[in-house]
């Protein structure tokens, strides 16, 4: 990485120059630097609204960059150790879907863990790919899915030699990392591409004592949420390419679905965040790791809670652990994660990332302060004292692996009927149903519905999980297909 070059921010600098020129706008957007919408101008400020502009010669075009955006993408690639990088303004969802759509075609098999984000399944609905699920191990003590063990990956490759790719979470929402280097070696040896979801892994490129990044491990494509731990604006993301990727073809795939009116606010935030991480990222994420480890120690001293970390590493399904993820098992105080999540928000004005049946996740990154950590630990202690109940075994059915009967595309587009959930047992789902966050499907199109799945959905609803994905906004009905 050339630090002198990384000190520049070409797109941001072009926007500063544009602002100085006081160009008279007879193009879109129609608010005309905010003059047409005074409330918006007052809310966001002139500096922000004044650079909410359209593509033009001096500012380049994201769909076909030839100047400042191209330069900004080259700096991104350099900072992340990639052969090429794309700025993405439709979120990491669009980066994940571009990865899948660039490799998987109708009828192709792709190997993947069941605990992928819904964007992967939605990409298979679009392209007609066939998911082949590699078993995900489960840590029953804390109720989380872990990673893919190498021997399970080997078995899947052996049984599905025609699969075109393998999809890997690096890391999972909870911080679990599989043996990515080992998976890359196996997949490439079998002629398969490796697609890596690094929605929660921006910092892996700039931190020590963290799991290996996709590009360092030799992955072919990686979707990276810069806005999650990298400091850019929400909805901005990047797609990284390894040496084997055909970057111009991938740009064509991206342009199938990405907006032609790319936000310069989002792109400038990527440019500035890349510069910040390239120059200061190692120091910043070392501080993040220290804060997370401190919080882990403090929470574990409270008793009842379990803030887990590197002790989970077993060399197999937990090959490594991302210590910046402050994941806490809450059932030891008799409360589900979603109950603790709600209490933190409603009673203590603390918004954490998510709560599920057994755990909460507090996302710690470059903008956090030690006093905020102290406030979180104090709130958890107070919750335990005021709301804690005797420890009991709470139902945890999140890792049911449904039978896949049809491809996601076939099921999604098939004619079906709308039925109450309790009447769908034995039928095939035509929709996706999930708890959000984290957005991992409970059911995907093409999977058979069982009594166990219905019981888990209702339990999740009772505990306050946000169920999403179905045509019915209350997720009390499901579009289903025939018996087989």
Tell me what pLDDT residue 484 has.
45
Number of domains the chain is built from = 3
Task: Please give the share of the chain, as a percent, with pLDDT higher than 90.
Answer: 81
Q: Is residue 429 within 8 Å of residue 483, measured between CB atoms?
A: no
Residue 22's pLDDT band (boundaries 50, 70, 90)?
confident
Q: Does residue 111 lie within any of the structural domains?
A: no
Q: Are 267 and 317 within one domain?
A: no
Does 225 have pLDDT greater than 60? yes
Does 388 have pLDDT greater than 50? yes
Q: Are 307 and 220 within one domain?
A: no
CATH number of the structural domain spanning residue 262: 3.40.640.10
Give the chain's mean pLDDT: 93
CATH number of the structural domain spanning residue 451: 3.90.105.10
Q: Is residue 9 within 8 Å of residue 276, measured between CB atoms?
A: no
Tell me what pLDDT residue 138 has.
83
Token code pair at residue 462: 């009772």
Tell me what pLDDT residue 110 has.
98
Which phi and psi angles does 370 have, rounded to 5°? -65, -30
Q: Are 331 and 472 within one domain?
A: no
Residue 23's pLDDT band (boundaries 50, 70, 90)?
confident
Q: Are 334 and 461 within one domain?
A: no
CA–CA separation, 172 vs 176, rounded Å?
Answer: 5
Q: pLDDT tens digit string along 274-291?
A: 999 999 999 999 999 999
Q: pLDDT tens digit string along 421-473?
A: 999 999 999 999 988 767 678 899 999 999 989 988 888 888 777 888 899 99
Q: Does residue 334 lie within any of the structural domains?
A: yes
Does 10 have pLDDT greater than 80? yes
CATH number of the structural domain spanning residue 354: 3.90.1150.10
Q: Does residue 54 lie within any of the structural domains?
A: yes
Q: Are 195 and 330 within one domain?
A: no
Q: pLDDT tens digit string along 127-137?
A: 999 999 998 88
Q: pLDDT tens digit string along 68-121?
A: 999 999 999 999 999 999 999 999 999 999 999 999 999 999 999 988 999 999
What would the mean pLDDT of 170-196 be, rounded to a whole number? 97
Q: Does residue 110 lie within any of the structural domains?
A: no
Q: Does residue 117 lie within any of the structural domains?
A: no
Mean pLDDT lowest for which of 156-165, 188-197, 216-225, 456-465? 456-465
Q: Are 214 and 240 within one domain?
A: yes
Does 125 have pLDDT greater than 90? yes
Tell me what pLDDT residue 347 has.
97
> Which range marks the domain in which residue 58 is found?
3-95+161-166+180-278
Tell me what pLDDT residue 114 has.
86
CA–CA separation, 453 vs 432, rounded Å?
Answer: 13
Q: Which of 231, 263, 278 is the last residue of a domain?
A: 278
Q: Are 380 and 471 within one domain?
A: no
Residue 162: CB atoms within 10 A of its CB come to 10
Q: Which of 217, 244, 278 is the last residue of a domain?
A: 278
Q: Are 257 and 299 within one domain?
A: no
CA–CA separation, 451 vs 457, rounded Å?
Answer: 10
Does 294 have pLDDT greater than 90? yes
Q: Does residue 82 lie within any of the structural domains?
A: yes
Q: pLDDT tens digit string along 24-64?
A: 888 889 999 989 999 999 999 999 999 999 999 999 999 99
What would the mean pLDDT of 306-329 be, rounded to a whole number? 96
Tell me what pLDDT residue 135 has.
84
Q: Are 7 and 40 within one domain?
A: yes
Burial 369-384 (b: 16+ CB within 10 A, else e): eeeebeebbebbbebb
Q: Are 416 and 288 within one domain?
A: no
Q: Are 365 and 442 within one domain?
A: no
Tell me what pLDDT residue 37 has.
94
Q: Are 374 and 260 within one domain?
A: no
Q: Which of 210, 243, 278 is the last residue of a domain?
A: 278
Q: Is residue 224 within 8 Å of residue 274, measured between CB atoms?
A: no
Does 369 have pLDDT greater than 50? yes
Residue 248 burial by CB count (10 A; 0-12/13-18/19+): exposed, middle or buried?
Answer: exposed
Q: Does residue 104 lie within any of the structural domains?
A: no
Q: Does residue 314 lie within any of the structural domains?
A: yes
Among 78, 87, 84, smallest CA distance to 6 is for 78
What would the mean pLDDT of 287-296 be, rounded to a whole number? 97
What is the model's pTM? Answer: 0.94
């Amino acid at each position: 990485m050339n630090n002198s070059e990384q000190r520049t921010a070409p797109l941001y600098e072009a926007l500063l120059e544009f602002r100085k020129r006081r160009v008279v706008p007879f193009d879109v957007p129609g608010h005309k630097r905010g003059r047409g919408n005074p409330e918006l101008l007052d809310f966001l400020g002139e500096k922000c609204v004044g650079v909410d502009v359209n593509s033009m010669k001096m500012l380049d075009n994201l769909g076909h960059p030839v100047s400042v955006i191209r330069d900004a993408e080259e700096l991104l690639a350099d900072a992340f150790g990639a052969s090429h990088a794309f700025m993405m303004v439709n979120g990491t969802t669009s980066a994940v879907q571009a990865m899948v759509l660039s490799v998987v075609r109708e009828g192709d098999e792709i190997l993947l863990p069941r605990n992928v984000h819904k964007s992967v399944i939605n990409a298979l609905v679009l392209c007609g790919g066939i998911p082949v699920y590699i078993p995900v191990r489960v840590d029953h003590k804390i109720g989380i899915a872990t990673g893919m063990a190498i021997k399970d990956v080997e078995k899947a490759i052996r049984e599905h030699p025609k699969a075109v790719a393998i999809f890997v979470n690096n890391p999972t929402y909870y911080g679990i990392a599989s043996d990515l280097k080992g998976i890359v070696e196996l997949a490439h040896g079998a002629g398969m591409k490796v697609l890596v979801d690094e929605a929660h892994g921006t910092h892996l490129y700039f931190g020590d004592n963290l799991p290996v990044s996709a590009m360092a491990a030799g992955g072919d494509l990686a979707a990276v949420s810069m806005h999650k731990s990298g400091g850019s604006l929400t909805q901005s993301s990047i797609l990284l390419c390894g040496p084997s990727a055909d970057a111009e073809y991938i740009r064509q795939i991206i342009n199938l679905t990405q907006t032609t009116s790319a936000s310069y606010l989002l792109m400038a935030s990527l440019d500035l965040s890349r510069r910040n991480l390239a120059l200061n990222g190692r120091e910043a994420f070392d501080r993040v790791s220290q804060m997370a480890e401190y919080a882990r120690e403090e929470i574990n001293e409270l008793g009842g809670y379990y803030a887990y970390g590197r002790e989970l590493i077993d060399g197999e399904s937990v090959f490594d652990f991302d210590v910046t993820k402050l994941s806490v098992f809450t059932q030891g105080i008799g409360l589900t994660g979603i109950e603790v999540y709600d209490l933190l928000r409603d009673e203590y004005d603390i918004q954490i990332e998510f709560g599920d049946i057994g755990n909460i996740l507090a996302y710690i990154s470059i903008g956090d302060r030690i006093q905020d950590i102290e406030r979180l630990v104090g709130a958890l202690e107070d919750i335990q004292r005021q709301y804690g109940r005797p420890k009991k075994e709470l139902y945890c059915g999140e890792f049911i692996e449904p039978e896949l009967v049809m491809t996601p595309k076939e099921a999604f587009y098939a004619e079906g009927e709308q039925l109450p959930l309790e009447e769908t047992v034995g039928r095939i789902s035509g929709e996706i149903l999930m708890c959000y966050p984290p957005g991992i499907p409970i059911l995907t199109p093409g999977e058979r519905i069982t009594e166990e799945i219905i019981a888990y959905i209702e339990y999740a609803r009772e505990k306050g999980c946000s169920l999403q994905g179905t045509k019915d906004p209350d997720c009390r009905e499901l579009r289903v297909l025939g018996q087989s």
